[in-house]
A and B are shown apart, each in its own frame.
Chain A
Amino acid sequence: NAGVTQTPKFRILKIGQSMTLQCTQDMNHNYMYWYRQDPGMGLKLIYYSVGAGITDKGEVPNGYNVSRSTTEDFPLRLELAAPSQTSVYFCATFRLQGAKETQYFGPGTRLLVL
């Protein structure tokens, strides 16, 4: 049981390039999230999904897109990278059953846009 895995761990992009941040979970959780964390700041919710085929915007969705074709995968797409998107990106899941509801986070992807 690997939990939440994210790839890549680190990436440098040039302005205007595009990339996809991968997130995969093996816990069969319905809820998945993408957060970004700027240096010294808390987490900002970008997008979330309550199940396959269903996604919705969070606090800071501009410049990003997501899809959720399967329960396991929730990729985050950056179409035209900008320096303001330099951040650490965390994917998370949430288990919504029983008395141990909790959110599980991946190890993060560090993105630098130059």
Chain B
Amino acid sequence: DAKTTQPTSMDCAEGRAANLPCNHSTISGNEYVYWYRQIHSQGPQYIIHGLKNNETNEMASLIITEDRKSSTLILPHATLRDTAVYYCIVSAQKTSYDKVIFGPGTSLSVIP
């Protein structure tokens, strides 16, 4: 079973920030939080990952709570092209990036 829980679906108005939550209450100390997205019929695309500090790149920001039991992916200015399924995954790097388990993810709809 996936180690994370996410809402099944969310809507976001175009131009507004999309905040996608993820719970990972059983995360281990050496496990990173990864976010991917999958646009319809395409292969998943990496977005961002982090261990305990907040991270930001050109696509998104990742906010991880201090206890690391949950995180939020933030798309600062959502566009219609951000409509996709977003997957939150936890996995340990360098030791066991093997059985990476994808859950059903959150289906984000960006509305004009």
**Chain A residues near B (Cβ < 8 Å):** 4, 31, 33, 35, 41-45, 48, 50, 56, 58-59, 88, 90, 92, 94, 96, 101-108
Tell me the dominant secondary structure on chain A's binding face: strand
Chain B stretch 87-112: residues in CB contact (< 8 A) with chain A: 87, 93-94, 97-105
B41 to chain A: which residues have CB within 8 Å? Answer: 88, 108
How distant is the Cα of A96 from the Cα of B93 in the complex, in angstroms? Answer: 8
* Closest Cβ neighbor of A90 among chain B residues: B43
* Closest Cβ neighbor of B36 among chain A residues: A103
> How many of chain B's residues have a CB under 8 angstroms from any CB in A?
22
Given A42-B104, A45-B100, A102 contacting B46 (CB threshold 8 A) = yes
**In contact, A105 and B99 (Cβ under 8 angstroms):** no
Least CB distance from A10 to B in Å reads 11
**In contact, B46 and A59 (Cβ under 8 angstroms):** no
How distant is the Cα of A108 from the Cα of B45 in the complex, in angstroms? Answer: 12
* Closest Cβ neighbor of A88 among chain B residues: B41
How distant is the Cα of A105 from the Cα of B51 in the complex, in angstroms? Answer: 22
